[in-house]
Amino acid sequence: MRVAVGMSGGVDSSVTALLLKEKGYDVLGVTLRFHTVEACETEGGKNVCCSPKDVQDAAKVSKRLGIPHLTFSWEDVFKSKVIDYFVKEYLSGNTPNPCAVCNREVKTGFFARYLKEVADIDFLATGHYARVIEDERYGRVIGRGKDKKRDQSYFLALVRKEDINLLSLPLGDMTKEEVRNIAQRYGLEVAQKRDSQEVCFLMGKSPGEYLLQNVGASEGDIRHVSGEILGKHKGIFNFTVGQRRGLGISYGKPLYVIDIDAKSNTVIVGEEEELYREDIWVKELNLHVPQERWDRVSVQIRYRHVPVEVKDIEKHGGRYKILLREKVKGVAPGQVAAFYDGEVLLGGGIIERY
Residues that are catalytic? 102, 200
* Coil, strand or helix at 286: strand
Measured CA to CA, the distance from residue 124 to residue 81 in angstroms comes to: 20
Which amino acid makes up residue 352? E
Q: What is the DSSP string of 94-150?
A: ----HHHHHHHHTTTHHHHHHHHHHH--SEEE---SEEEEEETTTEEEEEE-S-TTT
Nearest to 168 by CA among 5, 342, 344, 345: 5
Q: 3-class secondary structure for 225-256?
A: CCCCEEEEECCHHHCCCCCCCCCCCCCCCCCE
215 and 235 in contact (C-beta within 8 Å)?
A: yes
Closest CA to 29 of 13, 6, 60: 6
Find all residues with CB under 8 Å of 280, minimum gap 6, and list them.
299, 301, 321, 322, 324, 328, 331, 337, 351, 354
